[in-house]
């Protein structure tokens, strides 16, 4: 069966925006992989998918005011096809119709695009230790902003008791009545595929996110069927293959629908906002208000309400330790932000230098042209 760009998510609005580029003989393609310096891009030629390794043009790079403006997996771009001597080049990026990104409030330079143009964001979790309702709230916030629908899969149902699974589904549903929350297991692929079927429409993009090890790739593998097999290393302890996804990748399903596998999101890396970090320990901060001394370090201090809560078993010791490391964590975070800011500034400076150099070149050139006296 011949394929068309619509199988990749192409639609009327993209086509309209692309019209001026078509006049240059550029071709529309969707970015499926980010290799840092190059990208993988998928297009359709003569009814078949064709993949190219492509680079960004200087203009696309320089026009990007922030990292978030740079092409990302899921983006539609205009390609100028190369030949033996020339790279295939991204000449333009089309506007995003939806966009899953993380953004710390007020710092637009720090926005990071996770997936461009998703139709549905599938959050994978479990009813076991990975379940974290606060984190789930954060996911709902970013999905809400993305313009995509939210679907949550409570995976690994085979590993946990039925009432525990049910309670997890209800708690997540309670956070967001608009989200669609389903129980599933990669060990029961038939039922799982049935669950996702309504979302796997031709041209619809499903972006899978969630912590490392929750089963995103295992579930995607089931959807891909024979088309795809991981060649992961074998875990010496369990003897099972375990492949940690290291790069985001967009894949087209033969029966319709597009999936994007993402590396597991490390919570700290993902939501590095001081407030968010503090939010995770809101209950402990409440306890801290009850400490006897205002400057309590919450260690061995007399009358420390936090320590007493640990001793009485009302507070998990690990969480207490995590809380004690919070300031350290925030300091690290601020340092990282600063480094980031410096990179951005350096880039502006460099761009400025290039411009200045171009100007000098031009002036010298014009001088050369001037008739000599
Ligand atoms: N019992 C059980 N094991 C599962 C299920 N889903 C996934 N697993 C196992 O969990 C492990 C991790 O699964 P992956 O699919 O690699 O997890 P991931 O979310 O892609 O992880 P990252 O790529 O690191 O982000 C693998 O050994 C899977 O076989 C499930 O429903 N039940
Ligand atoms: Mg994976
Ligand atoms: Zn204290």
Q: Where do the domains of the chain lie, and which CATH numbers do they carry?
A: 5-93 (2.40.50.140), 99-266 (3.40.50.300), 272-324 (1.10.40.50)
Confidence check: pLDDT of 269 > 50 = no
Please indicate whether residue 158, judged by its CB atom, sits closer than 6 Å to ligand 1: yes
Confidence check: pLDDT of 45 > 70 = yes
CA-CA-CA-CA dihedral for 105, 110, 115, 116, to nearest 10: 90
Q: What is the arithmetic mean of pLDDT over 65-72?
A: 89
Q: What is the pLDDT of residue 358?
A: 58
Q: What is the pLDDT of residue 364?
A: 59
Please indicate whether residue 185, judged by its CB atom, sits closer than 6 Å to ligand 1: yes
Proportion of the chain above pLDDT 90, given as a percent? 54
CA-CA-CA-CA dihedral for 193, 195, 199, 201, to nearest 10: 40
Spacing, Cα 141 to ligand 2 middle (Å)? 23
**CA separation for the pair 339, 347 (Å, rounded):** 12
Q: What is the pLDDT of residue 111?
A: 75
- Nearest alpha carbon, ligand 1 atom 26: 242
Between the alpha carbon of residue 108 and those of residues 45, 56, 71, 82, 357, the distances in Å are: 37, 22, 16, 34, 29
Task: Quickly state the pLDDT bin for 128 (edges 50, 70, 90).
Answer: very high
Ligand 1 mutation pick, 186, 263, 269, max ligand atoms within 8 A of CB: 186
- Nearest alpha carbon, ligand 1 atom 6: 215
- Looking at per-residue confidence, does 1 or 69 come out higher? 69
Instruction: Say which range, 57-66, 93-102, 235-244, 327-336, has the weakest mean pLDDT.
Output: 235-244
Q: What is the pLDDT of residue 72?
A: 96
Please indicate whether residue 189, judged by its CB atom, sits closer than 6 Å to ligand 1: no
Spacing, Cα 294 to ligand 3 middle (Å)? 8
Q: What is the pLDDT of residue 230?
A: 46
Upper half-sphere CA count for residue 229 (Cβ side, 13 Å) = 4
CA 77 to chain centre: 19
**CA separation for the pair 213, 221 (Å, rounded):** 14
**211, 245 Cβ separation under 8 angstroms:** no
Ligand 1 atom at minimum distance from 220 CA? 15
Please indicate whether residue 215, judged by its CB atom, sits closer than 6 Å to ligand 1: yes
Confidence check: pLDDT of 157 > 80 = yes
Confidence check: pLDDT of 235 > 80 = no
**CA separation for the pair 164, 101 (Å, rounded):** 31
Spacing, Cα 212 to ligand 1 middle (Å)? 8
Confidence check: pLDDT of 159 > 70 = yes
Q: Which of 95-99, 129-133, 245-249 has the highest mean pLDDT?
A: 95-99
Quick: pLDDT tens for 9-26.
999 999 999 999 999 999
User: What average pLDDT does the chain have?
Assistant: 84
Between the alpha carbon of residue 126 and those of residues 111, 138, 165, 267, the distances in Å are: 28, 16, 8, 16
Residues 6+ apart with CB under 8 A from 77: 28, 29, 30, 31, 41, 54, 71, 90, 91, 92, 93, 94
Per DSSP, which regions of 46-148 are E strands? 48-56, 76-80, 88-93, 99-102, 112-116, 120-126
Confidence check: pLDDT of 321 > 70 = yes
Q: What is the arithmetic mean of pLDDT over 325-344?
A: 68
Q: Which of 82-96, 212-226, 280-294 has the highest mean pLDDT?
A: 82-96
Long-range contacts of 13-17 (CB under 8 A, 24+ apart): 13/97, 14/76, 14/94, 14/97, 17/94, 17/95
Ligand 1 atom at minimum distance from 155 CA? 31
Instruction: Say which range, 17-26, 229-238, 359-368, has the weakest mean pLDDT.
Output: 229-238
Quick: pLDDT tens for 241-267.
456 777 789 999 988 999 999 888 654
- Looking at per-residue confidence, does 64 or 29 come out higher? 29
**CA separation for the pair 143, 140 (Å, rounded):** 5
Q: What is the arithmetic mean of pLDDT over 338-360?
A: 59
Crossing angle for the helix pair 133-146 and 162-175, nearest 10 degrees? 50
CA 151 to chain centre: 15
CA 163 to chain centre: 32
Q: What is the pLDDT of residue 40?
A: 94
């Amino acid at each position: 069966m011949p394929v068309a760009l619509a199988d990749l998510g192409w639609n009327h609005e993209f086509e309209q925006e692309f019209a001026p580029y078509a006049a240059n003989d550029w071709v529309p393609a969707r970015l499926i992989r980010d290799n840092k310096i190059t990208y993988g891009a998928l297009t359709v030629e003569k009814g078949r998918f064709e993949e190219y390794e492509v680079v960004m043009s200087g203009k696309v790079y320089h026009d990007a005011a922030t990292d978030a403006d740079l092409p990302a997996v899921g983006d539609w771009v205009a390609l100028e096809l190369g030949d033996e001597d020339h790279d295939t080049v991204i000449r333009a990026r089309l506007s995003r119709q939806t966009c899953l990104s993380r953004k710390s409030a007020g710092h637009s330079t720090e926005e990071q695009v996770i997936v461009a143009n998703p139709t549905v964001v599938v959050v994978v979790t479990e009813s076991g230790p990975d379940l974290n309702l606060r984190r789930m709230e954060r996911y709902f916030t970013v999905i809400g902003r993305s313009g995509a629908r939210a679907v949550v899969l409570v995976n690994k149902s085979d590993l946990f008791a039925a009432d525990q699974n049910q309670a997890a589904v209800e708690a997540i549903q309670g956070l967001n009545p608009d989200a669609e929350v389903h129980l599933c297991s990669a060990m029961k692929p038939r039922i799982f595929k049935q669950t996702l079927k309504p979302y796997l429409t031709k041209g619809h993009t499903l972006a899978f996110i969630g912590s490392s090890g929750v089963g995103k790739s295992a579930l995607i593998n089931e959807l891909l069927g024979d088309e795809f097999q991981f060649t992961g290393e074998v875990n010496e302890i369990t003897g099972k293959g375990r492949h940690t996804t290291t790069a985001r990748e967009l894949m087209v399903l033969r029966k319709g629908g597009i999936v994007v596998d993402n590396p597991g999101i490390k919570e700290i890396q993902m939501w590095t906002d001081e407030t968010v970090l503090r939010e995770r320990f809101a209950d402990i901060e409440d306890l801290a208000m009850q400490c006897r001394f205002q400057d309590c370090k919450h260690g061995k201090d007399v009358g420390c309400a936090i320590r007493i809560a640990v001793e009485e078993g009302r507070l998990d010791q690990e969480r207490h330790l995590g809380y004690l490391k919070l300031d350290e964590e925030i300091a690290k975070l601020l340092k990282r932000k600063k480094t980031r800011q410096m990179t951005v500034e350096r880039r502006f400076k460099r761009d400025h230098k290039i411009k200045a150099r171009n100007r000098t070149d031009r002036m010298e050139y014009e001088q050369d042209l001037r008739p000599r006296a």
